[in-house]
Structure formats: structure tokens, C-alpha cells
Amino acid sequence: MSAGFQTIVGLGNPGARYDGTRHNIGFAVVDALRATPIDGDGSGVDSDCRLNARAAIAGSLGSSGWLERNGYSESALRVGDWSGALIKPQTFMNRSGEPLQSFLSFRKVPISQVIVVHDEIDLPFGVVRVKLDGGEGGHNGLRSISERCGGRGYVRVRVGVGKPGPGSPLSMAPDGVATWVLGRFSQEEQPIAEELVGKACGAVVTLLLQGLKKAQNKYNS
């Protein structure tokens, strides 16, 4: 039995110049989900999605299977007895709520049935956590969604990309965090980033098939 979610939203910035950046990890996760055949019970989804993670991070999976709507890209996903929509807002990050509001209004989907996948600087690189409600932690994409789409009562899959370490020039620069999230994964970071995408895909599928508590028990421990 599915857990009541109808829509999965991956956050990122549109355009090739942002492909492969930390800020676009949400796009990479939904791209990997769409490109990966998933067994009915979701078993092995982490490793299966990881096979498509490199191409997903690079933004090279192409637009096949995505429908371009007014301000967002939409595709379908089916996992077991669950079926619903994948959404990638095509506004810039800080306006993510505008196209999502249009989609939710048109489809009559409440915000409580939405999963948002996003980059999270307050988690170490490689860590995934599942959260319901709460603040946005300075994430402009989440803030836009909360303001435009009916509040904070949606589930977040927080994909840890870390932040500049102490002593890093970026940690002391006024725009250091922005530069960090808009930077690309290094060659050394790439394998961890691919594993991270697979893990986040697993968190989404666990939410869909088993619900919030099971996903939190598995990924938040």
C-alpha cells in the first residue's frame, strides 16, 4: 500500500551552466528515479539508481520522458502500486514555489502529499535525512515553496552537500556559501556524490511504499 504521497519535486537551477553543481542535486535525484527501472517492492533501489547517478548529476540524461509545462518539467513515475508525478521547477531556485503552486492547484494536490528533494549544506556531504515540516534553514527554494504552496507541511529529503570547512577561503567570503553550492563536485567527490544520489532515491522510494516513519528510521539513524 502506498503512503499517500502524490508528487516528488526535485530542486535545482535550469540551464547547462548549473549541471553538476551541488545546488542541483535535487534535479539529479529525480532524473535518476525517472531513468531507473524500480522493482515493485523497491528492493535494491539505492544501487540501481546509483548506476544512473553519474549521468544524472552531469545533466546528461536528456529531456526524453519529460513534458515541458508552464514553468516546470513533469514526468510520471510508477513504483509498485504507487504512481504519481516527478516535477522539476524551471524557474531559478528562489522562485521554485511559483510553478509548483500552479501544478498543485491544477492537479488539486495538497502540500501534505508532496516530497521535496533538495541540497542541504547543514548536513555533512554524503548524508541523507528525511524531515517533515519545520523551518527552511536559509534554503531559498524551500522558503519559496512554503510561502507559495500552503505552508511547511511537506516532507523533505535533505541531501547533504556539506559546507566550506573552517579555514577555507569560502568560509570567510561574504558569498562563500553561494559559491560553494554553485560549485561542481570534484573528481574525488564524484563517487560519494553518486552514492548520495542513490541513497536519496532510496529514501524517496521508502517514503512512497512504507511511509514517513519507516523512511526516518532507515535514513535518520
pLDDT digits (tens, 9 = 90+) for 99-146: 999 999 999 999 999 999 999 999 999 999 999 999 999 999 999 999
Q: Following DSSP, what letter does each residue of 82-115 receive, concatenated? A: EEEEEEEE-S-GGGTHHHHHHHHHHHT--GGGEE
Q: Which of 11, 14, 19, 23 is catalytic?
A: 23
For helices 212-219 and 190-210, angle between their N-to-C axes, nearest 10 degrees: 150
- Predicted confidence (pLDDT) at residue 221 exceeds the cutoff of 90: no
CA distance 101 to 111: 9
> Which cell is 209 given?
511504499
Mean pLDDT value across residues 200-208: 97
Would you say residue 56 lies in a domain? Answer: yes
Would you say residue 2 lies in a domain? Answer: no
- Predicted confidence (pLDDT) at residue 180 exceeds the cutoff of 80: yes
pLDDT-based confidence at residue 1 (cuts at 50, 70, 90): very low
Mean pLDDT value across residues 30-38: 96
CA distance 141 to 158: 12
Mean pLDDT value across residues 198-214: 97
Which residues form the domain of 76? 7-219
CA distance 156 to 39: 23
Which whole-number Å values give the CA distances from 14 to 35, 90, 128, in the listed order?
Answer: 19, 5, 23
Would you say residue 153 lies in a domain? Answer: yes
- Predicted confidence (pLDDT) at residue 2 exceeds the cutoff of 60: no
CB 48 within 8 A of CB 38: yes
Number of domains in the chain: 1
Please report, for the domain that includes residue 75, its CATH number: 3.40.50.1470
Residues with Cβ within 8 Å of 199's Cβ and at least 6 positions away in sequence, in order, are 46, 126, 128, 219
Would you say residue 109 lies in a domain? Answer: yes
Mean pLDDT value across residues 150-172: 89
Would you say residue 163 lies in a domain? Answer: yes
CA 36 to chain centre: 16
Residue 23 annotated among the catalytic residues of the structure: yes
Q: Is 138 in a helix, a strand, or coil?
A: coil
Would you say residue 57 lies in a domain? Answer: yes
